Structure 1
Amino acid sequence: MTSVQTAPLGGLARQPERRRRPRTRVSWWFIVPALVAYGVVVVYPSLSGAYYAFTDWNGGPYPSFIGGANFAELVQDERALASLRNTLVLSVAVVIGQSLLGLVLALALNTAIRSRNLLRTLFFAPMLLPPIAIGVLWQFMYSRGGPIDTVLSGIGLDALVQNWLGDSSVALWSVIVTVVWQHVGLSMVIFLAGLQGVPEELYEAASLNGAGRWRRFWSITRPMIGQATTIVLALTMIGGLKLFDQVFVMTSGGPGYATETLSLLMYREVFVLGHYGYGTAIALVLTMIVAMIAFVQISATRRGEVEA
């Protein structure tokens, strides 16, 4: 009889271990296509624009390097300074209006009312529409004898009827109302996400200790939605600084230059007048302003979160 070989104690014999191939090198190859696309679409145009900002390029094949002449002209250009002022006023107003209104809507819709889902959808819906369509819609709303004038006249407020887009004193504020109306839904959704992360036990404990609504909001809600507040403030400020579509459609920067922003001025200098070097200098200045304000704003709000 042949003897049967038995397996050693502990189960089957150990198989020789296979060497694991390092995953680091392999994973980098999956990133290369995205990096190449990012470099071609973002990095190269950005660096080229930064270079052309220091040239007198007007579309020709051989731009000349002129140093900081474009920036010196920009500082002395009254139209550019007016555009910068309009941009800052618009941005601050949009940040305040959109953030406060978005927070109020989020607090109101973070309750058990039956229609909360429908109302959330209605308030967020304008965000899904193209800015060009929003501009055309509100241009019609602000037209002489349009829906806004008709409603004001119908309720006996004829004194409030204005030339909304033709009066330099109210045209910029009309654009601000349009921007806030379109984007307030985004702020509302971000604040809602923050509010739904606040534990109900905190509110119950505060109520048992006699804290009112305002006290609960200031001591519990405000610190707990700090990250949501940071996101809303950053997004609204950046969006306001680079706003172009609604202004271009509704007023084209008019009347005069009352609603012209830096983005619109850059567009005119580059695509209308052919001043590519000067236009890219405006774009570079706008980029630096956005980066600096966003950095300061995020740093300040994060510091407030830590202190809270």
Structure 2
Amino acid sequence: MNTVAKRRANSARLPSGMLWILPALVVSGGLIYYCIGYTGYISTQNWDGISPDSVSVGLANYVQLWHDPVFWLTILHTVAFFAVTFVVEVLLGLVFAVLLASNVRFGVVYKVLIFLPVLLAPATMAPVFRLIYASDGPFNAFLSAVGLGALAQPWLAQSSTALFVVMSISIWQYTGLAFILYSAALTQIDPQVIEASRVDGAGNARILFQIIWPSVRGTTVALAVLAAIGALKTFDIPYLVTGGGPVYSTEFLGTLIYRVSVPQSQVGYGAALSIVLLVLAVCVALAFMLIGSERKAPKHV
């Protein structure tokens, strides 16, 4: 009886399910948060990442970051990247979802084709897009074939167009994600509501903007969170396609962190950039969560 009583007492002390989530807590607390703390410590050091000794510089790396014009350029690129890719992906994803929600012939094939780019690794796409947008590549050849040869230009070799090329690649890859999420959201709309609207004389545009769009607002907020954090973490596409150039025209926080930490061996400064990136990502996520909670909160008259 004493043994049974002890077991009951021990189980009463532990919250329900604690033993099941304890391994995940140990991994996240002991690895992830330790790494964040260690990165914060390195951000106060002048260290090349190789030598055994580092020099404490306090907040000098953050002061350097504040006065670094390339850092502010990456912030501008991140904001522009988020605004353009989010708007285009939402519009295309919603339009595709609405069009394929009806009984379209070969609809499953279209859905697979739209979602397929999401599954492809950027490392496999980068050489293809470098070839497509080359000066003598297929894109310029297509423009010449349709009589728009005057628009042909070295898309990846000039600052005025390189960022838009990176945006177009991201839109091509992640529109399928918006499409899938909107397709799932559309299944939650009662078809009788749409049929009743048609009986009342509502056209397709009115149904789209007054019934469908408000109904998928939560999905749009979720996509905004994913797009904002994704823009902050953008690395693979600009690094593999343009390398951050030309003249920093496609430089993002991720590519800047890699460039100063590895090729330039300024690990302390790279760690400071990483901490700023983490803070920005957390702030963006919290901001969208507050916006979502305010919309869900009941309004008292």
TM-score (norm 1): 0.88
Q: 1:63 to 1:170 in 2, by over 3 A?
A: same
Query: What's the offset of the Cα at 1:39?
Result: 2.8
Partner of 2:261: 270
Counterpart check, 1:47 vs 2:37:
yes
After superposition, where does 1:91-240 map in structure 2 within 5 Å?
91-240=82-231
Aligned residue number for residue 291 of structure 2: 300
**1:304–1:216 Cα change, 3 Å:** farther
The amino acid of 2:177's aligned partner reads: L
Question: Secondary structure of 1:203's partner?
Answer: helix
How far off its partner does 1:224 sit? 1.4
CA–CA separation in structure 1 for the residues paired with 2:232 and 2:168? 15
Q: What amino acid sits opposite 1:75 in the alignment? A: W
| SS of structure 1 residue aligned to 2:207 | helix
- CA distance, structure 2, for counterparts of residue 41 and residue 143 of structure 1: 43
48-57 or 177-186, which moves further after superposition? Answer: 48-57
Contact 1:168–1:254 (CA<8 Å) still a contact in 2?
yes
Q: Which residue does 2:75 correspond to in 1?
A: 84
Q: Give 2:240's aligned residue.
A: 249
> Percent same amino acid among aligned pairs?
31
With 252-261 and 98-107 compared, the bigger mean Cα shift is at 98-107
Distance in 1, matches of 2:193 and 2:40, equals: 51
Write the distance in 2 (CA, Å) between the matches of 1:153 and 1:212: 40
Using the alignment, how far apart are the partners of 2:123 and 2:75 within structure 1?
Answer: 23
Structure 1 pair 303/210, CA: closer, same or farther in 2 (3 Å)? farther
The alpha-carbon distance between structure 1 residues 305 and 142, as it changes in their structure 2 partners (threshold 3 A), is farther
In 2: Cα distance, 1:118 partner to 1:259 partner: 34
RMSD: 2.2
Q: Hey, what's the Cα distance between the residues in 1 that align with 2:73 and 2:37?
A: 27
**Given that residues 226 and 305 in structure 1 are in contact (C-alpha distance below 8 angstroms), is that contact kept between their aligned partners in structure 2?**
no
Aligned to 1:70: 61
Deviation for aligned residue 1:143: 1.2
Considering only CA atoms, is the larger Rg found in Structure 1 or Structure 2?
A: 1
Cα 1:299/1:27, change in 2 over 3 Å? closer
d(CA) in 1 for partners of 2:141, 2:135: 9
Q: Structure 1, residues 44-81: CA drift from partner, whole Å, max 9, x if none?
A: 11111122212223223333332221111111112222
Number of corresponding residues: 291
Quote the offset at 1:301 in angstroms. Answer: 4.5
Could you list the runs of 5+ residues in structure 2 that have no partner in the other structure?
A: none
Mind listing any 5+ residue stretches in structure 1 that lack a counterpart? 1-17
The Cα shift of 1:295 comes to 2.3
Q: CA deviation at 1:87?
A: 2.0
What is the CA-CA distance between 1:266 and the residue it aligns to?
A: 0.4
**CA drift at 1:305:** 5.6
**Superposition deviation, residue 115 in structure 1:** 1.5
**Does the C-alpha gap of structure 1 residues 196 and 26 become closer, same or farther in structure 2, counting only changes over 3 Å?**
closer
3-state SS of 1:169 partner = helix
